């Protein structure tokens, strides 16, 4: 884990260049700040990046963004799976039961990590990442596995409850309740964008983890074609002048007249 925190950009405003960063130790509050210079500054500080604030403070630049909030949440843990007596599931290493809002706002995902040695003949011999995810703010609990099981019994298909009930939990239950689609339209700023500075990974754009495989425009298409059906959808659009428009679907509006949304042109092209 990184022990330092980047706190500011070092810039030359007149040349529109980022020259470095200021950073300090995370351990001690009030610790001294240090300067680090580089020919090229890559911001890979993830979905909570401070880059929009830094760019605004230093260059008076507003990064146009579209954020889509669909009440996404994950509870993830590492678990050992055991046989449930259903060969179609016992033989499947990867299980994916995706969310399909508005009819189904809860999903279930199993992804194997590695094989493990065990003497238990009922064990499938793998440790896996097991995740229960939702949209529409229908959050699964993470305070105890008993409560999570109780919740999945009511909210998931019984088959997935059986898999969870048989599993051995090998890690804490990790919640994530802040996943949104967040796309920064840096390309629209042209030469106003400072030289020698790039955003990489989630700091540039992040998506619903159900579709997100790190950075990809296709995730944006997948998510916007599916997550827009979420009944409590909220979209926040910030333009380059800092004007913010918020669109929120209310409880009375129908989420869609077209249960099968049209496939975006880019996806059709790829198909």
Ligand X SMILES: Cc1cc2nc3c(=O)[nH]c(=O)nc-3n(C[C@H](O)[C@H](O)[C@H](O)COP(=O)(O)OP(=O)(O)OC[C@H]3O[C@@H](n4cnc5c(N)ncnc54)[C@H](O)[C@@H]3O)c2cc1C
Residues that bind ligand X (CB under 6 A): 2, 5-6, 44-47, 50, 74, 76, 176, 179, 201-203, 209, 212-214
Q: Which is nearer to ligand X, 101 or 142 (CB)?
A: 142
- Strand-pairing partners, residue 12, are 17
Q: Which is nearer to ligand X, 84 or 148 (CB)?
A: 148
Q: How far is the CB of 144 from ligand X (least distance, A)?
A: 20
Q: Which is nearer to ligand X, 6 or 166 (CB)?
A: 6
Q: How far is the CB of 6 from ligand X (least distance, A)?
A: 4
Q: How far is the CB of 203 from ligand X (least distance, A)?
A: 6
Q: How far is the CB of 258 from ligand X (least distance, A)?
A: 29
Distance CA 35, CA 159 (A): 55
Q: Which is nearer to ligand X, 145 or 211 (CB)?
A: 211
75: nearest Cα among 136, 2, 145, 4: 145
Q: How far is the CB of 165 from ligand X (least distance, A)?
A: 22
Residue with the CB atom nearest ligand X in the bound state = 201
Q: Which is nearer to ligand X, 1 or 268 (CB)?
A: 1
Q: How far is the CB of 55 from ligand X (least distance, A)?
A: 14
CB 137 within 8 A of CB 72: no
48: nearest Cα among 15, 5, 10: 5
Q: Which is nearer to ligand X, 74 or 160 (CB)?
A: 74
């Amino acid at each position: 884990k990184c022990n330092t925190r980047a706190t500011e950009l070092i810039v030359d405003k007149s040349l529109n260049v980022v020259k470095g960063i200021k950073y300090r130790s995370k351990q001690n509050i009030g610790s001294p700040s240090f300067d680090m210079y580089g020919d090229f500054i890559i911001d890979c500080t993830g979905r909570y990046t401070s880059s929009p604030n830094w760019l605004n403070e230093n260059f008076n630049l507003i990064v146009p963004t579209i954020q889509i909030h669909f009440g996404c949440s994950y509870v993830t843990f590492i678990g050992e799976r055991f046989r449930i007596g259903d060969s179609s599931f016992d033989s499947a290493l990867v299980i994916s039961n995706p969310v399909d809002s508005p009819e189904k706002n809860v999903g279930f995902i199993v992804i194997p990590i590695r094989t493990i040695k065990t003497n238990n003949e009922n064990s499938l011999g793998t440790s896996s990442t097991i995740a229960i995810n939702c949209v529409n703010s229908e959050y699964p609990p993470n305070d105890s596995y008993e409560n999570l099981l109780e919740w999945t019994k009511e909210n998931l298909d019984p088959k997935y409850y059986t898999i969870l009930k048989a599993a051995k939990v090998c890690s804490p239950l990790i919640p994530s309740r802040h996943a949104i689609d967040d796309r920064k339209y840096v390309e629209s700023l042209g030469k106003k964008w400072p030289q020698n500075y790039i955003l990489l990974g989630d700091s540039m754009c992040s998506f619903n983890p159900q579709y997100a495989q790190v950075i990809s425009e296709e995730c944006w298409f997948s998510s916007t074609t599916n997550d827009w059906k979420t009944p409590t959808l909220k979209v926040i659009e910030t333009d380059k002048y800092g004007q913010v428009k918020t669109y929120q679907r209310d409880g009375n509006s129908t989420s869609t007249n077209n249960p099968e949304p049209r496939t975006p042109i880019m996806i059709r092209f790829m198909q």
